[in-house]
Amino acid sequence: MLDAANATFAAVICFGLLTGISTQLQSVRPQAPWEVDPYDAVASFATMLVPIVAALTWVRCARWRHEAAYPPFALVEIVRGCVVALVAVAATDAAYLVAAFQRGFPRPAPLRPELLGLLGLSAITLVIASMMSATASSLHRRPRAERNEVALSGEPDAMDDVAELLRSAPANLAPLHGSCVRTADLLLAWAGSSAASPRRHPWLFVAAISCAAGIAAAASEFVHEGPPPNIGVGALVVAVFSTIVAIGGLLGYALTGRYLHLVRSPRRV
């Protein structure tokens, strides 16, 4: 299972190189046939979803690394995280391939081989990770009734996983270990009692975080493209970015929140 997860992380890194270089570098973006919608929209949604899912999957792998064996529910969560990340990467690679065949590369494109190489590297690592994940999933496959019980048994959620990983910080580094333990305790206390906790209001939490990310994206756009001509235009740009990212965040949570067991009800704490 860990080999499949590591292969998935490698595919995610290659995916990040592909999307980062071909969609964010101003000197390269115009040479990519997928720099326009709907192809770019697929990549934009995937670049919001994949890093979060990959980070959560890594946390769940690292949390149980010192145990003799991974518990069944943890294996389910890790496999599902790999599946979601790989599906998002596959959707983006497929959209890019369609764009390359339909639109083609512009003639003055000195970096075209590099773009094709990045796309090929992403596709190859995707295939390898998918094969390894499918093999690992088949080895740990259980009867359907048992799989449903494991998935719905109210096991620790993502916040518990982060807290336990913090608590596993090296004990020989006393200041670091103490800070991590205190942070974990504060995180769980906030998750269990705060009205702003994602366990109490997950949809509002996702919307708020997504809006904040949209504001940050608008600020980054202002840095790269220059400030808006006036406050009204700036406010409109911020509102558009926040709305788009919020819709993407809510859609991502709707599609994957329950499947990945992101949060559980505070009544189960």
For the chain, the first-to-last Cα distance in angstroms comes to 29
Tokens representing 194 are 């705060």
Q: Are residues 126 and 109 in the same domain?
A: yes
Q: Tell me the pLDDT band of 268, cut-offs 50, 70 and 90.
A: very low
52 and 78, same domain (yes or no): yes
Q: What is the structure's pLDDT at 207?
A: 92
Q: Percent of the chain scored above 70 by pLDDT? A: 91
The span from the CA of 127 to the CA of 129, in Å, is: 6
Same domain (yes/no): 216, 238: yes
| Whether 106 and 219 share a structural domain | no
Mean pLDDT of 194-201: 84
pTM: 0.83
Residue that wins the pLDDT comparison between 9 and 107: 9
Query: Where in the sequence is the domain holding 233, given as residue range(s)?
Result: 197-269
The rounded distance, in Å, linking the Cα atoms of 157 and 136 is 22
Spatial distance between the Cα atoms of 157 and 161, rounded to a whole number of angstroms: 6
Averaged pLDDT, 67-79: 83
pLDDT tens-digit readout, 117-173: 888 999 999 999 999 888 877 766 655 545 544 443 567 888 888 988 888 888 777
Are 7 and 76 contained in the same domain?
Answer: yes
Determine contact, residues 156/60, Cβ cutoff 8 Å: no
- Distant-in-sequence, close-in-space partners of 31: CB < 8 Å, separation ≥ 6: 105, 106, 108, 109, 110, 111, 112, 115
Count of structural domains, the chain: 3
| Whether 17 contacts 51, CB under 8 Å | no
Question: What six digits make up the tokens of 132?
Answer: 């390894």
134 and 17 in a single domain? The answer is yes
